[in-house]
Homo-oligomer: A and B are copies of this chain.
């Protein structure tokens, strides 16, 4: 198939007729597939079945002697802190272990700042005239949604192949109403980009006008490579910030949601001593403790970092073929000049740019033939992408056979949307 831009009107009309016939056939199949969220498939959950058997029923003691079943240790048991410290690459004493959701820890940080203020705040953020938050885009819709929900103004920062455009970030933080930025530094959602050393160093050295500015460094995919033996190197942002005495600017997050069970894992945040005191102090009013039995399960099942890597290889073995299906399906679209994408080496998504103005239509066409994708625009602040070209593909949940069908349909819908656009 030639490049679409080289086709004349008659050729486009003929193409459209053929594509449309194929589309009707797809609709007749009554597909019902979901590629909207970064959800592991059943086989990935089965990998962690040992999690349920790892505890000795006669001994729920943490290594500090505490009975994990009872109240206590709001910030987590020592072995769970160490476990999450390894993943986040911070010292165990800088770790607070939470419940099953790192999103909840992020929400809490924003919330505590809103209600009470950060340690350096002159007043709670709810008393500020205006708060702005930086959103590298395309990015994670659930991040943006939290700050939108609190009424902050979301500011789009373009993504580059090395991470957020740091010139734009450094310029934006001169505005004292800019209080934070969302980051997924490794195998980013949705592009799979790992921040370059230069990007990490510039974040570690960031000097915003707002003294209570925070970098929300969501290292959700720290060990989630498709080739675990060749994990993307990510410079240690905490170590870099500490060198400069700038460690208070960082909130680091991670979880085992895509290591063990998405609904029943453990989460953690890594913070400077000052931030940790602040976070602990506010969380104290919220709950007595998190689920330490589940913390103990995780620490027992994956006692050191090598075990974690070995475990992640099993995930990679399941995910690699799925990413291959997506990338292979996309190849002809590239030749036809109607799609561009980054090839992710980890994470849960493939981010595809279709022709300008064609993303919504592509998603709609897929939906009307039974395949649900992430809403077009969802990867941008307020769910609105000015150019309407980015589509996030989440290939992990459907089984291989369904994924193949879904990608076939996806490519067909990109073609249809593109031809419709060219025909005007």
Contact = CB atoms under 8 A, between A and B. Distances in A.
Interface stretch (A14-22, A48-56, A185-193): A48-56
A238 to B, nearest CB: 25
Q: How many copies does the complex hold?
A: 2
A146 B292 CA distance: 23
Given A100-B289, A149-B282, 8 more contacts: A52-B293, A70-B262, A71-B262, A99-B100, A101-B289, A115-B150, A142-B288, A263-B288
A351 interface: no
Contact of A53 (B37, B57, B107, B292): B57
A40 B72 CA distance: 12
- Chain A, interface size category, equals 35 or more
A294 interface: yes
A121 interface: no
A71 B290 contact: no
Interface string A81-124: 00000000000000000011101100100010011000000000
Given A103-B286, A111-B111, A289-B263, A57 B67 contact: no
Contact of A291 (B45, B49, B67, B294): B294
Contact of A49 (B57, B68, B104): B57
A291 B262 contact: no
A69 to B, nearest CB: 4
B264 A288 contact: no
A90 to B, nearest CB: 23
A130 interface: no
B69 A45 contact: yes
A262 B60 CA distance: 13
Interface in A58-83: 60, 67-72
B70 A39 contact: yes
Contacts of A150: 115
A70 B53 CA distance: 18
**Max chain B C-beta neighbours (<10 A), residue from A37, A145, A285:** A285
25 contacts: A37-B71, A40-B70, A42-B70, A45-B67, A48-B69, A52-B57, A52-B293, A70-B262, A71-B257, A71-B262, A72-B263, A99-B99, A99-B290, A100-B290, A103-B286, A107-B287, A115-B115, A115-B126, A146-B285, A149-B285, A263-B291, A263-B292, A264-B292, A264-B294, A291-B291
Contacts of A142: 288
B261 A69 contact: yes
A107 B286 contact: yes
Nearest to A58: B49
Interface string A316-348: 000000000000000000000000000000000
Contacts of A262: 69-71, 288
A243 to B, nearest CB: 34
Nearest to A286: B107
Given A114-B115, A291-B294, A104 B286 contact: yes
B40 A263 contact: no
A254 to B, nearest CB: 15
A255 B400 CA distance: 41
Contacts of A52: 55, 57, 293
Interface string A280-303: 001001111111111000000000
A68 B262 CA distance: 9
A72 to B, nearest CB: 7
A264 B291 contact: yes
Contacts of A257: 71
Contacts of A55: 52
Nearest to A103: B287
Contacts of A70: 39-40, 42, 45, 261-263
A287 B100 CA distance: 9
